[in-house]
Chain A
């Protein structure tokens, strides 16, 4: 689905990532760890075309990203659910409309089914907050809303950047359970996180591969993970 071959990314004159090899196949589950500033978010952004590699090749759903025009990248992003680190919402729209935004922009003429939308919001614990504006939400609520938005289109790949950073343990387990459920449906999942407890909890439920970025390179994490 998504493949990175010999990908490097330079920023401000220095290399942030070098020679990254990564394949997100259908049904795969990956965790991405590493110290802050190591390039985890950058790697995720390379996967969904928000950044272009300075070297190497990114292939998304069988098409090389550099060969896609803006519309092509937009089409590819509709098949990728992204939970951004800082969530990013349209602050003037209520939570329900923000969650349904991927459906609205898909230009299929469809709108989110109100029943399904309510169910999804209830599942992430935001059933009572559907009409709230994003600035009124807590950090944890924002992350849950971002996750709901990422999965509403039933994407083939889910990329999550610290999805449980601001939620309590119980909620992080619920979010993890949702991601595992989606993975069992054949979706590829890549989660960038510092949360080692989350990784251990996941590994007891799903066959997950743990990757680590260190010294600009992507490697398999140690056996302790």
Chain B
């Protein structure tokens, strides 16, 4: 790290020996800016997916549904029996039988708003909210089977797990994208640095003639490329953060509308230019040393 800060703050004269213009300058700045822009989006994606996974996992883990599909005349009695059993079950905080209006609202997306729920054999649903360590689903199922044979307990495990897994994988993909972006940037900066070194063979020859060590020459190129990458990445990160901030926020429960940063996460794009500088420094240093070793 001391070497990196030295490269940024150190011998400005060393950087002056590298001609200031050339396509490699713009290539490095543009690459760093584009990669930083993408990295900010990957960060936002990763954080959003993480929040979603946590929220889904938390919300679904704390609820369960009891479905009672009894013959028409027994629905009320079995519902009452089920509610009584649930009240006695450790780990159950609250229970609530869904009203006709709520069941109608659940089915409205498929059957429309005027569904005559009371005339259809639609099961009664009871929403269960858990507390503490939650209830023992296996024990509850056995008791319900004995006393409320029409009751089916759904603790949401079946469809909660793939949802949470998907969100977790999305989060991992976000981090993988950031790593790939870093790798791609390192490759681009390496190519640019090698091109610059090749284009400046005459400069290197002059510097060696007057007694410059290879470390001095490498430092000159490294400083130049690190500063270019830092500047480009700062621009790209600022643009990316602005673009994320401009995303619509209405209905923030949805995944796409929740894409972005929350709280202290807004500070994380600040790390992108610093990381870009580290990547550029390491890539240029390696490329310069390798190239100089090959030049006689």
For B200, give the chain A residue with the smallest CB separation.
Answer: A90
User: Whole-angstrom distance between the alpha carbons of A82 and B205 in the complex?
Assistant: 13
Q: Does A74 lie within 8 Å of B212, measured CB to CB?
A: yes
Q: Looking at the complex, which of B13-21, B25-33, B93-101 is the stretch in contact with chain A?
A: B13-21
Number of interface residues of A (CB under 8 A): 25
Contact with A along B199-223 (1 / 0, CB 8 A): 0001101111111111110000000
Q: Does A75 lie within 8 Å of B209, measured CB to CB?
A: no
Give the interface of B toward A (CB within 8 A).
13-14, 16-17, 19-20, 202-203, 205-216
Give the residues in chain B near A89, CB-CB below 8 Å: 206
A78 within 8 Å of B (CB atoms) = yes
Within 8 A of B (CB), among A86-143: 88-93, 97, 101-102, 104-107, 111
Q: Does B209 lie within 8 Å of A74, measured CB to CB?
A: no
Q: Does B17 lie within 8 Å of A71, measured CB to CB?
A: no
A149 within 8 Å of B (CB atoms) = yes
Most B CB within 10 A of own CB, among A71, A74, A153: A74
Q: Does A102 lie within 8 Å of B210, measured CB to CB?
A: yes
Given the interface pairs A74-B214, A77-B211, the reply to whether A88 lies near B205 with Cβ below 8 Å is yes
User: Whole-angstrom distance between the alpha carbons of A173 and B19 in the complex?
Assistant: 35
Within 8 A of B (CB), among A53-84: 70-71, 74-75, 77-78, 82, 84
Q: Does A71 lie within 8 Å of B215, measured CB to CB?
A: yes
Q: Does B211 lie within 8 Å of A90, measured CB to CB?
A: no
Given the interface pairs A88-B202, A88-B205, A90-B203, the reply to whether A149 lies near B210 with Cβ below 8 Å is yes
Give the contacting residue for B208; candidates A77, A97, A107, A153; CB below 8 A: A77
Give the residues in chain A near B216, CB-CB below 8 Å: 105, 107
The total of Cβ contacts below 8 Å across the A-B interface reads 60
Q: Does B16 lie within 8 Å of A75, measured CB to CB?
A: no
Give the residues in chain B near A111, CB-CB below 8 Å: 13
Give the residues in chain A near B212, CB-CB below 8 Å: 74, 105
Give the contacting residue for B20; candidates A71, A84, A92; CB below 8 A: A92
Taking the closest CB of chain B, its distance from the CB of A137, in whole angstroms, is 15
Q: Does B16 lie within 8 Å of A93, measured CB to CB?
A: yes
User: Whole-angstrom distance between the alpha carbons of A106 and B207 in the complex?
Assistant: 10
Give the residues in chain B near A105, CB-CB below 8 Å: 17, 207, 210-213, 216
Give the residues in chain A near B202, CB-CB below 8 Å: 88
**5 A-B pairs with least C-beta separation:** A78-B211, A105-B212, A77-B211, A102-B210, A74-B213
User: Whole-angstrom distance between the alpha carbons of A111 and B214 in the complex?
Assistant: 20
Q: Does A90 lie within 8 Å of B20, measured CB to CB?
A: no
For A91, give the chain B residue with the smallest CB separation.
Answer: B19
For A76, give the chain B residue with the smallest CB separation.
Answer: B211
Give the residues in chain A near B13, CB-CB below 8 Å: 104, 111
User: Whole-angstrom distance between the alpha carbons of A50 and B207 in the complex?
Assistant: 12
Give the residues in chain B near A90, CB-CB below 8 Å: 17, 19, 203, 206
**Interface CB pairs A-B, < 8 A, 16:** A74-B213, A74-B214, A75-B211, A77-B211, A78-B210, A84-B209, A88-B209, A91-B19, A102-B210, A102-B211, A104-B13, A105-B212, A105-B216, A106-B211, A107-B213, A111-B13
Taking the closest CB of chain B, its distance from the CB of A125, in whole angstroms, is 21
Within 8 A of B (CB), among A18-62: 50
